[in-house]
């Protein structure tokens, strides 16, 4: 029998760890915490973009055992099989049953390239470090193939159903810089296509303007309103086993156009990583939640922060904000004195888009719309909080975040936690004040 409230957190990613570490910071020994993860390490995926260009994967891994031990958090390796809300318990894939007083489902998202005919067979899809390393091998083959002096075509693709294509934009810009450094840019045609009406549509006109200008300056062909319908391989039927390089391959779009490729790089459609029979979900399996607390609708003590929930944009910084709201809500319910003013989720995205020669910073207050075609927009009352800036110095901000977050999580501290966060926050605010400007429509 548990004499203290027991919070079970399923998922060892951004939202799960932020929730666990924040709860421990709020409540100390007044709560029992159990973390269930299907991997040994936390992986800082935003910095996996460096792997195709020679980055060190070890730097983006944080062993979960050490972090959990530091904060006296019980850790189980396993996957969720079933949630019994009536009995306040969950079942794992090995049949283990665990009781909870509060349950946090931070199981994230998964990719479903099979939705697009031919995408899985003929594209290099990017999602995990292994696929990023495979892309690096593709790029080395591309460099070797330019020896014949013929122009090669690299096509980037954002299909319908994708919930955050930022890393794909980073890679096309980084590839442009990488090719220039190897004096190969004139031998490689770069094309970027997206189903959205604007580039990185959720982040509004300021980011769209930056991307449009960068595409023009770098000679990258960029197309919006391009919803892919199918992908075809050409001679040799080059699939993933051959680097996703179907010779003479082509992509067809709903608007009647098509583009050919030697290398196709795509971010597939998103779906929920775990099925939740009996819990309310949207058409892609994401759990329906109360906006401010991320509590699953129709439940009293089940929460879904981060990519497992129904917020339309899947992004690390937004996952942190959702996890903070979840941890505060649970802690306040356990001990109101511990968190007298619990934070609520107010979607403010913050990101740094790497280009290898410079980077773009964006701070974007978001608002949901209820429109499936454009489910979020920039908050019309954002005022000076909507900031965008481009500078080589923003690369330092990207690198600082890449060091800061793994260090925080490795120490068992939340992203928004303690003196290290206040120092990082001051640095970001200082850079934003001098290197970014409010966006005016």
What's the pLDDT score for residue 244? 43
Q: Residue range 286-313: average pLDDT? A: 98
Residues in the chain: 441
What's the pLDDT score for residue 208? 97
What does the pLDDT look like over 74-122, one tens digit per residue? 999 999 999 999 999 999 999 999 999 999 999 999 999 999 999 999 9
What's the pLDDT score for residue 239? 43
User: How far from the centroid of its chain's Cα atoms is residue 168's Cα?
Assistant: 11
User: What confidence category does residue 313 fall into, taking pLDDT thresholds of 50, 70 and 90?
Assistant: very high
What's the pLDDT score for residue 441? 67
Beta strand 41-43 pairing with 80-84: unpaired
Task: Report domain extents, the chain.
Answer: 6-108+273-438, 123-269
Cα–Cα distance, 347 to 365 (Å, whole number): 6
Cα–Cα nearest to 425, from 415, 410, 411, 435: 415
Do 6-108+273-438 and 123-269 agree at the fold level?
Answer: yes
Q: Which CATH class is domain 6-108+273-438?
A: alpha beta
CA triple 130-135-136, angle to 5 deg = 95
What's the pLDDT score for residue 247? 60
User: What confidence category does residue 309 fall into, taking pLDDT thresholds of 50, 70 and 90?
Assistant: very high
What's the pLDDT score for residue 2? 55
- Which CATH code for domain 123-269? 3.50.50.60
Q: Residue range 301-325: average pLDDT? A: 97
Question: Residue 348: is its pLDDT beyond 60?
Answer: yes
What does the pLDDT look like over 259-274, one tens digit per residue? 999 999 999 999 999 9
What's the pLDDT score for residue 235? 37
Contact 20, 9 (CB under 8 A): yes
- Considering the chain, what percentage of its residues have pLDDT values greater than 90? 91
The CB-side HSE value for 441 (13 A sphere, CA atoms) comes to 7
Question: Residue 236: is its pLDDT beyond 60?
Answer: no
- pLDDT, averaged across the chain: 94
Question: Residue 140: is its pLDDT beyond 50?
Answer: yes
Question: Residue 241: is its pLDDT beyond 80?
Answer: no
Contact 300, 107 (CB under 8 A): no
Q: Residue range 224-246: average pLDDT? A: 66
- Output the furthest CA–CA distance in the chain (Å, rounded): 72
Cα–Cα distance, 417 to 24 (Å, whole number): 11
What's the pLDDT score for residue 418? 84
What's the pLDDT score for residue 246? 43
**How much is the pTM?**
0.95
- Listed in order, strand segments (DSSP E) in 333-380 are 348-354, 359-368, 376-378
**Beta partners for residue 235, in sequence order:** 247
Cα–Cα distance, 329 to 301 (Å, whole number): 10
What does the pLDDT look like over 29-55, one tens digit per residue? 999 999 999 999 999 999 999 999 999
What's the pLDDT score for residue 234? 54
- Considering the chain, what percentage of its residues have pLDDT values greater than 70? 96
């Amino acid at each position: 029998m548990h004499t203290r409230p027991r919070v079970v957190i399923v998922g060892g990613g951004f939202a799960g760890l932020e929730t666990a570490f924040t709860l421990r910071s709020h409540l100390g020994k007044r709560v029992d915490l159990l973390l269930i993860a299907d991997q040994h390490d936390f992986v800082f995926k935003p910095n996996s973009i460096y792997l195709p260009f020679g980055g060190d994967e070890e730097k983006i891994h944080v062993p979960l055992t050490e972090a959990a031990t530091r904060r006296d958090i019980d850790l189980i390796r396993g996957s969720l099989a079933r949630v019994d809300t009536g009995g306040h318990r969950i079942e794992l894939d090995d049949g283990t049953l665990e009781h909870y007083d509060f349950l946090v489902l931070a199981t994230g998202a998964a990719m479903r390239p099979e939705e697009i005919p031919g995408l899985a067979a003929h594209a290099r899809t990017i999602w995990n470090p292994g696929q990023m390393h495979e892309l690096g091998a593709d790029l080395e083959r591309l460099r070797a193939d330019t020896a014949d002096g013929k122009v090669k075509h690299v096509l980037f693709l954002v299909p319908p159903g994708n919930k955050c294509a930022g890393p794909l934009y980073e890679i096309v810009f980084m590839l442009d810089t990488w090719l220039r450094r190897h004096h190969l840019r004139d031998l490689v045609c770069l094309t970027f296509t997206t189903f959205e009406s604007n580039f990185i549509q959720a982040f509004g006109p300021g980011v769209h303007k930056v991307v449009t200008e960068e595409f023009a300056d770098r000679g990258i062909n960029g197309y919006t309103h391009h919803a892919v319908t199918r992908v075809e391989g050409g001679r040799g039927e080059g699939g993933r086993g051959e680097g996703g390089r179907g010779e003479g391959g082509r992509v067809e779009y709903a608007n009647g156009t098509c583009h050919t490729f030697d290398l196709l790089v795509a971010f597939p459609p998103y779906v929920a990583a775990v099925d939740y029979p009996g819990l309310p979900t949207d058409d892609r399996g994401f759990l329906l939640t109360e906006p401010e607390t991320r509590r699953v609708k129709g439940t009293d003590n089940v929460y879904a922060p981060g990519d497992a929930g129904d917020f339309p944009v899947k992004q690390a910084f937004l996952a942190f904000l959702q996890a903070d709201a979840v941890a505060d809500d649970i802690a306040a319910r356990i001990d109101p004195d511990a968190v007298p003013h619990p934070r609520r989720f107010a979607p403010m995205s913050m990101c740094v888009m790497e280009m290898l020669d410079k980077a773009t910073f964006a701070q974007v207050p978001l608002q949901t719309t209820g429109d499936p075609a454009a489910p979020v927009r920039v908050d019309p009352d954002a005022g000076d909080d909507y900031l965008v800036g481009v500078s080589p110095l923003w690369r330092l901000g990207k690198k600082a975040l890449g060091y800061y977050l793994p260090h925080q999580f490795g120490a068992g501290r939340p992203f928004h936690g303690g003196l290290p966060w206040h120092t990082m926050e001051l640095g970001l605010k200082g850079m934003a004040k001098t290197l970014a400007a409010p966006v005016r429509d």
